[in-house]
Structure 1
């Protein structure tokens, strides 16, 4: 899956291709968050935007007025996915002010194009979804596709229904069968997660919006038009970027799904063991106390989130995602995973991320941490499996599930390059994403860190050995 950005915040032009592990590094205020939020927003909203693009398809079928409808998915979509995604991308650009909770003027000239490599045969997938009435559970219609068939069939059992009434269900079925193998579910751990963990009880956007609306609205005005309350509440919730709002909502619901065990946790229990080792304990929900952190060891007290270390709070949503929600194929986005972590724990988190990648999760990371990238380098170099690297793997106790093949990793740094002249356009400098070189024997080359470290070493060498000026 490739994203092409133009005039997106601080990024003039940039291309980003998601790998099994995607990393963006760079200095502050250079565009990392713009790229990250844009990717998250698209993966969060593409299904809804696609429905609009499928209206003409459903309208054409509606004219037949039959009880059974058939859609040849191969004929309709084979070789045309990127045409649909281009249309969806254009609709998505109009939503960028909502995604970022920013003034629309900042995105007037923004462009985003999403493309995929059509390599998955969606005809192999079977699908069946009954549509039932809410009152008595009566089956009103069935949408189905047999394995190895090109045909999506809609059988309507209720004479009062037509295909148009089922348009949303039909669109969702097409999205699931044809597009979802390329556009997976996503979860984000934003940089604001630490504060959200402390105030999880108080962070209710709906309640806060209602209180603020009631405070500012005149009673007579509200009596004349009760819908003003809803409008003001909606306006209040729009003041937060989607990743922040979604992250806060997830954290507020932790106690509700604490007992759930996700697909990935069942298939890969070692992931949870690795995570618990990282935080030195586990999260628990205790009656009358709510969410607490319980350190390892008998007799040790448990702590509320406010009493716990910043490391425990920073990793809260990651832990619950892994235990309760994660499944193979997800895109997991973590903004600045090094937040509040000692270098030792940053290295441990890098190894956990590698385990997630090898368990089938696509991980997208933005980071300022040289420790994190160096640990990824170690995991890449150990994956060579030479006699020497295998001996080092044994000596330093790395598991095979923690090793990373270089072809599965992409790292980009934000930076400035010179765009060559074209026609009457002069050569110009642009802010962009620069792909890093990744080699099996030395890992990832990250200039942004190397330059800073070399500067510091040079200064300290001059202080120690430079002599008199």
Structure 2
């Protein structure tokens, strides 16, 4: 399952393999790492939402047109598949496109602003799944779905009695049955319902849900939490407000992060494996316990061997940055995994639910190393590796060579399977940044990011030493 982003803001080309459990994105500042993470998050978030029932009513109304389309092309499977793909394009637009457009506007403000900054080319996003491929494109100032292609062959068979369609997953075939040219293709609208549902299932069986933890996590939460109280006060006294008030723009991933933290219910059950990892983070990194006050909506920290309970603004920057990650693990991700174990999707049948058993939550984390001493960075990447081994997927942007080197040691020590890791580095070209997938073997990840500056600093040091020795 891959997503390829082309001509999106500062990005010329970026492709990511979402089957990996621990994904790192490296690169210099202002090169497009956050752009890539944000748009991938928004795509998955919208695709993972339940398909609205009203769409299935629309399908029912199209039943006659679908039957007519099949009858006209019953002897030409190639054209029939093209017609099916075109109808699927319309349906995918109905399910997904308007929601995704709103998410882009909520995050980037103007669709015209997210075309390639260098070439001015309009952006294109390719979704390459096992079952279906399609593109999301910005064309003539409109967001469209194009190049829809089912990766299953169509077969039409003549039979003596009515039979429903069949989706043969093993041989990747969709089989339609007919008696004669005027056959009504019983329940053909249900076929499209199933095809649309297959798109959902294909993502859901790999990724249970998505969560975004932005940079400056603690500061953002404190600011937004205080701001929500200001809005409440203004609402109560709005008759006295005579001047226009401009509200700050908050991107959708940041808003989702704030809302998820605000909704934490500390009384609910937790997953034992995730609870152990979050406790290790508290013990080894934070040297204290993180909690959430549901009444005040505040994150609290209690240092070890002390009765003092501190608000985040009274803690160190390291504690303030790591505490939201710990809270997410304790109360959001842990609950997600529990819900996955009990297979709580009430609109999914039991055989399909079985496909979700290995589904995992995906956490997007921007710069987790911020404000951390190198020793703490090394410990943090150990915890991330444990999460990847215990049912959690992570996509991380980072500038930390310490975390990079520790990751290599974990691979060498076989603490994490190299096949579960994906590493990418964005490098700037004349037409925007291009992602290069880094080679990974049993010795670790090929360094195409930090080695250049390390060599540059080493050579600079040699020159200065030579200069010092000559002057001596």
Q: Report the TM-score when normalising by structure 1.
A: 0.66
The offset of 1:324, in angstroms, is 1.0
Q: Report whether the alignment pairs 1:115 with 2:139.
A: no
Distance in 2 of aligned mates of 1:46 and 1:212: 38
Contact 1:47 1:172 in 2 (8 A): no
Q: Report whether the alignment pairs 1:252 with 2:283.
A: no
Distance in 2 of aligned mates of 1:178 and 1:3: 14
Please name the residue that 1:280 is paired with: 287
Please name the residue that 1:241 is paired with: 251
Distance in 2 of aligned mates of 1:213 and 1:431: 49
Q: Report whether the alignment pairs 1:377 with 2:408.
A: yes
Distance in 1 of aligned mates of 2:60 and 2:317: 52
Which shows bigger deviation, 91-100 or 431-440?
Answer: 91-100
Distance in 2 of aligned mates of 1:37 and 1:317: 19
Please name the residue that 1:434 is paired with: 436
Please name the residue that 2:397 is paired with: 366
Corresponding residue to 2:300 among 286, 289, 292: 292
Distance in 1 of aligned mates of 2:440 and 2:25: 14
Q: Kindly provide the CA deviation profile for residues 217-261 of structure 1, in whole angstroms up to 9, marking residues without a partner as x.
A: 879xxxxxxxxxxxx99x947x2111111222233344xx12233
The offset of 1:303, in angstroms, is 1.6
Contact 2:424 2:436 in 1 (8 A): yes
Paired residues for 1:89-128 under 5 Å? 94-95=101-102, 97-107=104-114, 109-118=122-131
How many residues are matched? 357
Please name the residue that 1:186 is paired with: 210
Please name the residue that 2:181 is paired with: none
Please name the residue that 2:7 is paired with: 7
Paired residues for 1:194-343 under 5 Å? 194-199=218-223, 201-204=225-228, 207=231, 236=247, 239-254=249-264, 257-262=265-270, 265-277=271-283, 278-285=285-292, 291-297=299-305, 299-326=306-333, 327-328=336-337, 329-343=360-374
The offset of 1:374, in angstroms, is 0.9
Change (3 A) 1:89 1:431: farther
Which shows bigger deviation, 363-372 or 107-116?
Answer: 107-116
The offset of 1:215, in angstroms, is 9.0
Please name the residue that 1:224 is paired with: none
Distance in 1 of aligned mates of 2:399 and 2:239: 42
Please name the residue that 1:34 is paired with: 35
Contact 1:93 1:111 in 2 (8 A): no
The offset of 1:100, in angstroms, is 1.9
Contact 2:424 2:437 in 1 (8 A): yes
Distance in 1 of aligned mates of 2:40 and 2:16: 9
Any idea what SS the aligned residue of 2:45 has? helix
The offset of 1:176, in angstroms, is 6.3
Distance in 2 of aligned mates of 1:86 and 1:458: 55
Please name the residue that 2:151 is paired with: none
Please name the residue that 1:137 is paired with: none
Q: Kindly provide the CA deviation profile for residues 284-343 of structure 1, in whole angstroms up to 9, marking residues without a partner as x.
A: 35799864211122x452222111111111112211111112144000110001011111
Distance in 1 of aligned mates of 2:251 and 2:281: 28
Distance in 1 of aligned mates of 2:3 and 2:96: 10
Contact 2:218 2:312 in 1 (8 A): no
Any idea what SS the aligned residue of 1:270 has? helix
